[in-house]
Structure 1
Amino acid sequence: MIAAKNLVIGYGNSLRCDDGVGVRVAEMVADWHLPKVRSLAVTQLTPELAQDLAGVDSIIFVDACQAVDTDTVEVCALKPLATTQLHSHFGDPRALLSLTLAIYGKCPQAWWVIIPATNFQLGESLSSLAKKGIALALIQIRAILNGNCQTMTTATDIKYNSCTK
């Protein structure tokens, strides 16, 4: 078995409509059966994932965000946060990168693909905005995996706390 060099982690709650777009994207990437690419669909980012991050060259995080002023899929280059506070789970993938760096002394190149969403009610249906976002996110992920991605923003431009679900 060839070790994966790239990891895609899609996260969210698939029982809260659009909140599950990250999970759906991760499942679709897994269906591509790409060599050296591993894909995980998880409910939330937990400290245990640091071990997975330490073993890859690049990581792509995929999540939903309440669409406020945009319907654009954002692709952001990420760097670890300056803090290494330990929590049971993380809302911001930069915290997981920080933990990986603190424990393993290394951190993969990282991107955050943020898909705009509008419906976070109980259910499994997706809004038309989320469906469009999934299609665009898959194009961006393939570009990242092929080394052809141009990020739209940097980690310092992201105000994740303002992204409410």
Structure 2
Amino acid sequence: MHKLLFFGYGNPSRGDDALGPLLVEQINQYKLPCLTSLVDMQLMVEHAADLTGYNQVVFVDADVACKIPFEFSEVFASKDDSYTSHAVTPAALLYTFQQIYRRPPPPSLLLRIRGYSFELGDRLSKQADSNLQAASTAIRQWLLQCK
């Protein structure tokens, strides 16, 4: 059976930065046997261990620069400056996986959902909520293939 990990990250206290975790909450409601989810405020090198045993990983994050309402892209293992910091990029996390396990990481995608307001204490903006619903609908259709 195909094993899929959805990893939503972002800070729920910073308005639209909550888009990643919110999408993962929504797709958890589908209760698909192929789907596992993980939510955290940021990616850290320790999360490399969480990627083991999956055929595919989808990272979900808010972004101020992506197309409206959302954008998918492939992610490949790549060493960047973030691997030495507390928070890492998806590419650096895949690179860390590759270094630890001495094998390629699972194929990965990055789903960036357009956000607008990221100040501490902000609520989810109306525009970001609309983008979240569009992403959720698209992901639901995609996940129906797991059944």
Give TM-score, length-normalised by structure 2.
0.85
Higher helix share: 2
Instruction: Confirm or deny: 8 A CA contact 2:73 2:109 kept in the other structure.
Output: yes
| Bigger mean CA offset, 5-14 vs 138-147 | 138-147
Q: Can you list the C-alpha shifts for 1:26-67, whole angstroms capped at 9, x where unaligned?
A: 111222211021011110001121111122110000101115
Task: Extract unaligned runs of 5+ from structure 2.
Answer: none
SS in 1 for 2:45: coil
Correspondences of 1:68-87 after superposition (within 5 Å): 70-82=67-79, 85-87=83-85
Aligned length: 144
Write the distance in 1 (CA, Å) between the matches of 2:91 and 2:99. 12
Write the distance in 1 (CA, Å) between the matches of 2:91 and 2:144. 23
Write the distance in 2 (CA, Å) between the matches of 1:98 and 1:47. 10
Q: 2:51 aligns with which of 38, 50, 53?
A: 53
User: Would you say 1:95 and 2:92 are equivalent positions?
Assistant: yes
- The verdict on how the C-alpha distance between 1:134 and 1:97 changes in structure 2, with shifts beyond 3 A counting, is same
SS in 2 for 1:48: helix
Aligned to 1:62: 60
Task: Extract unaligned runs of 5+ from structure 1.
Answer: 148-165
